[in-house]
Structure 1
Amino acid sequence: MSHRRSVHCLFLALLVVAGPLRSAAASDPVPAVMVDDFSYLDTSGEPIDQTAAHQRRLQAFVAALKHDVATDQRLRLVSPSCGAACPAADAPPAARLQMAAAAGAGIVITGGVQKLSTLVQWARVAAIDVASSRVLFDKLFTFRGDNDEAWERAETFVSRQMREALVTPAPVRLALLPFELDATSAGAALGETEADHKELQAATDAVRQVLEQSGRYRLVDAAAGIKPGQGLRACDDCEARIARELGAQQSLLGIIRRIGRTEYIVGFRVRQADDGALVLAGDSGLRLGANYSWSRGAVRVIREQLLGSGDSER
């Protein structure tokens, strides 16, 4: 059996549970976290028995992880109160999760370490939602060395990534629809010019970049869901329908309302994909400038009113 397969088998049971449980802390604003025991496996084949040293370092690793959770104001550490009646460390995962639920934990952190060779070790760490049995985080880390300093460095790195994953919401899948022009100026009857098309695309691209950089959205390419020449701003269900078909959670449509030759308003609206409900709508107010300034106006209104960054226009 390969090293990768053996470590996979070792920790597979950590991620397989027997149905959802109830947790008193599942809806708490500050997640209640229990750090469970970690396992250890040495497959390095070294002749010297290092069991005592490994157990000491593993205990220090788990203790440091508990300390990090306890001192992180975004999380709340809970511990089981069952004492000697607690399920053994090698009990079925369902029993350990039941213990966590009784302790009021909403999340259980568990895992293990495997030594592959003299200098290489793997740490597999997982976080499981107690109420739904859903895996929130599951990652295999590699670290070098087998002394106190190497284990401490590994714990610091693992702890930081784990805690950030638990408190940072997953990005919203967003279908970014192309900006549209709503011309109400005296020249509207002449239709959109090639320059207008170019600047609408530039505004869409600029907003795409801002949304991607924010980390709050994972953009879904919406171009394939829109028919050529199809206008969405006057279609009641089109935005949400396209987003649903693309597997997105929300849609965003930007609209440039041209009032005069050098007067315009940038507006946007975000809808829920499942029912079309309006999540947020905003506009820039009256702005002055030709079509080449639409991108700047679009970026500013998205930053200030959707992302709430309050950034000044650059």
Structure 2
Amino acid sequence: MRKLLLALALLPGMAQAEALLIAPVKLLDTSHEARDQTAEHARRQALLAEVLAAEMSATLLPAEAVAEACPQETADCLVTLMRERGADRGLFIVVQKASTLILQVFASLVDLEAGKLITHEELNFRGDNDESWRRAGVFLARQLRD
């Protein structure tokens, strides 16, 4: 597969697409809700990442790869890992859950070669359910593409 992609990139008149890699979505839950929502949160974090990947023609960086290569999850290590996986750009997402009704997304799109921030977007969304997270992903992808 890699050889095919390289061959296509070398064809005359073919523009080489920039590869976008999305880091696992992080969650900061400051809602102090009594019920354990760990499984629901993990599922919604994955949902948000999957929506972004589909909307932005991106690839997801597996959490296992991050845990193995970057156990401390430092920015330098993550950027290096993404670069080694052939990405030109990396997307880093953190969701802060203030309550069941109020969530905020912080998204940083980084040029991995230059190590520079391309753009940073922040958005609020309401409702801690699958549909709200999905819609937030679609909206965020549109913001990042523009």
Normalised by the length of structure 1, the TM-score is 0.39
Q: With CA pairs under 8 Å and 6+ residues apart, which has the higher RCO, 1 or 2?
A: 2
Counterpart pick for 1:36 among 9, 12, 23:
23
Q: How does 1:129-168 map to 2 (within 5 A)?
A: 129-164=111-146
SS of the residue 1:30 aligns to: coil
- How many Å apart are 1:84 and its aligned residue? 5.0
1:180 is aligned to: none
Tell whether the 8 Å contact from 2:95 to 2:104 is kept in structure 1 after alignment.
Answer: yes
Find the counterpart in structure 2 of residue 53 from structure 1.
Answer: 40
Query: CA separation in 2, counterparts of 1:157 and 1:84?
Result: 28
Higher-helix-fraction structure: 2
CA shift digits 1:232-285 (9 cap, x unpaired) = xxxxxxxxxxxxxxxxxxxxxxxxxxxxxxxxxxxxxxxxxxxxxxxxxxxxxx
SS across alignment from 1:37: coil
**1:162-311 correspondence to structure 2 within 5 Å:** 162-164=144-146
Structure 2: gaps of 5 or more residues: 1-14
Residue pair 1:38, 1:113 contacting (<8 A) in 2 also? yes
> What's the CA shift for 1:87?
2.0
**What corresponds to 1:109 in structure 2?**
91
CA contact (8 A) 1:127 1:138 kept: yes
Number of residues paired by the alignment? 131
- RMSD (Å), alpha carbons: 2.3
Query: Could you tell me how far 1:69 is from its partner in structure 2?
Result: 2.0
Match for 2:53: what amino acid? K
Q: How does 1:4-83 map to 2 (within 5 A)?
A: 29-70=16-57, 77-78=58-59
Task: Tell me the CA shift for residue 92 of structure 1.
Answer: 1.0
The answer to whether the 8 Å contact 1:32/1:105 transfers is yes
| Aligned residues of 2:91 and 2:107 also touching (Cα < 8 A) | yes
**1:79–1:103 contact (8 Å) kept in structure 2:** no
SS at match of 1:139: strand
Residue type at the aligned position of 1:99: L
The structure with the largest alpha-carbon Rg is 1
1:93 paired to 2:80: no
Q: Where does residue 119 of structure 1 map in the other structure? A: 101
